[in-house]
Amino acid sequence: MLGIRPFRGASLAAVVAALCAALAAPAQQRSEASPAAKPVPPTATRQDYAPELVATGRARFAASCAFCHGPEATGGSGGPDLTRSEVVAADARGSDIAPLVRAGRPDAGMPAFPSLPESDVAAIVAFVHDQKAKAEAETGGRRSVEVADLQTGNARAGKRYFEAKCVRCHSASGDFAHLASRLEGLALLRRMLYPGGQPGAREHRPIATVTTREGERVTGEVAYRDEFTIAVIDGEGRYRSWQSARVSVTISDPLEAHVEQLGRYTDASMHDVLAYLQTLR
């Protein structure tokens, strides 16, 4: 069984590696008893697509959909696994998928794509159905990391840990309010451990405040830095650089605390915090 209990006592790196490996594990290695081993809903209407259209769809899907649904349509940063979607199962060559792509689901955080060319929508439909067909063909049913697999922590212990370690930067009633309504399961765990490294996310850059000898202060994202030069993008979007020896520099990186935290988590505390975050609805 994939559930977290077999990982108790393992290092954080081992847990994360095992979770990621489980996404690609052969079906023969997966337990039928796991709540994540539920069968993929069967496709109502058999559909075959030309390999060229599927390849085009993969590229269009990567550009518009992969950030939420993952590059293989099997789930990503908060988006569901489309190979298990009832909408996809009922779809016949875009009958259900195309209107959903056009209108989106604003209440669920899915954007609308009203101007996406018909050819792109058709290619995306082909790719999604091709991925679903592959999932259905796997012996024993597809296996991925479901929310239930990660619900093993102690939320009360997680709240104590959060209040001791995290409240300097985060608030359960502020930036984390309703967090679990936006992210859950593996998507939330990834965001919790690697907040600056989400697929498709804008590159994270530290903030620098540069003070010149003349007293000018400039604050902006660090664009370049070595032992000789510091460069930032200021508030007006301009690239500005100085010789490091001629200015004083203060660097602020909010994600540095997360980097340090990775080495402090135990397997138990990591899942306790995750359990607590899942209560923030």
- For residue 260, the model assigns a pLDDT of 77
Condensed to tens digits (0 to 9), the pLDDT of residues 165-192 reads 888 888 899 989 988 888 888 778 878 8
Domain co-membership, 169 together with 270: yes
Q: Are 79 and 68 in contact (CB under 8 A)?
A: yes
> 43-74: string of b/e by CB count within 10 Å (b at 16+)?
beeebebeeebbebbbebbeebbbbbbbebbb
Domain co-membership, 22 together with 157: yes
Domain co-membership, 65 together with 102: yes
User: Among 44, 40, 49, 46, which Cα is nearest to 125's?
Assistant: 49
Whether residue 155 is predicted with pLDDT greater than 80 in this model: the reply is yes
Collapsed DSSP state (helix, strand, coil) of residue 73: coil
186 compared with 98, residue with greater pLDDT: 98
Whether residue 24 is predicted with pLDDT greater than 50 in this model: the reply is no
Domain co-membership, 189 together with 237: no
- For residue 192, the model assigns a pLDDT of 84
Of the residues 137, 158, 188, the one at which a domain ends: 137
CA-CA distance, 102 to 125, in Å (whole number)?
12
Least confident of 124-138, 181-195, 229-243: 181-195
What is the reported pTM? 0.43
Residue 238's domain comprises: 207-254
CA-CA distance, 240 to 237, in Å (whole number)?
9
Domain co-membership, 51 together with 111: yes
Dihedral sign, CA of 231, 232, 238, 242?
negative
Phi-psi region of 237 (alpha: psi -120 to 50; beta: other; left: phi over 0): left
Condensed to tens digits (0 to 9), the pLDDT of residues 46-84 reads 888 999 999 999 888 888 888 778 888 887 656 778 888
200 compared with 150, residue with greater pLDDT: 150
- For residue 212, the model assigns a pLDDT of 94
CA-CA distance, 150 to 222, in Å (whole number)?
36
Per-residue pLDDT band for 5 (boundaries 50, 70, 90) equals: very low
Residue 66 lies in a domain: yes
Residue 130 lies in a domain: yes
220: domain CATH number?
2.30.30.100
Domain co-membership, 188 together with 220: no
Residue 55 lies in a domain: yes
| Pairs from 248-251 (Cβ < 8 Å, separation ≥ 24) | 248/210, 248/211, 249/208, 249/209, 249/210, 249/211, 250/208, 250/209, 250/211, 251/206, 251/207, 251/208, 251/222
Whether residue 108 is predicted with pLDDT greater than 90 in this model: the reply is no
Q: How far is CA 228 from CA 126, 225, 243, 244, 245, in A?
A: 52, 8, 6, 5, 7
Domain co-membership, 131 together with 29: no
Please give the average per-residue pLDDT across 118-147, as a whole number. 79
- The mean pLDDT value of the chain amounts to 78
Question: What is the DSSP annotation of 190-212?
Answer: HHHH-TT--TTPPPP--EEEEEE
Domain co-membership, 12 together with 58: no
144 compared with 14, residue with greater pLDDT: 144
Select the highest-mean-pLDDT range: 41-50, 110-119, 210-219, 248-257: 210-219
Question: What is the DSSP annotation of 17-51?
Answer: HHHHHHHH--GGGS-TTSGGGPPPPPPSS-----H
Provide the number of structural domains found in the chain: 3
- For residue 163, the model assigns a pLDDT of 92
DSSP H or E run through 234 = strand 229-234
Residue 202 lies in a domain: no
- For residue 30, the model assigns a pLDDT of 35
Domain co-membership, 104 together with 238: no
134 compared with 256, residue with greater pLDDT: 134
Domain co-membership, 245 together with 110: no
User: pLDDT > 70: what percent of the chain?
Assistant: 77
Whether residue 257 is predicted with pLDDT greater than 80 in this model: the reply is no
CA-CA distance, 58 to 53, in Å (whole number)?
9
For 188, the token pair is 């939330």
Domain co-membership, 109 together with 216: no
Q: How far is CA 13 from CA 17, 25, 144, 212, in A?
A: 6, 18, 19, 42
Domain co-membership, 33 together with 48: no
CA-CA distance, 113 to 99, in Å (whole number)?
10
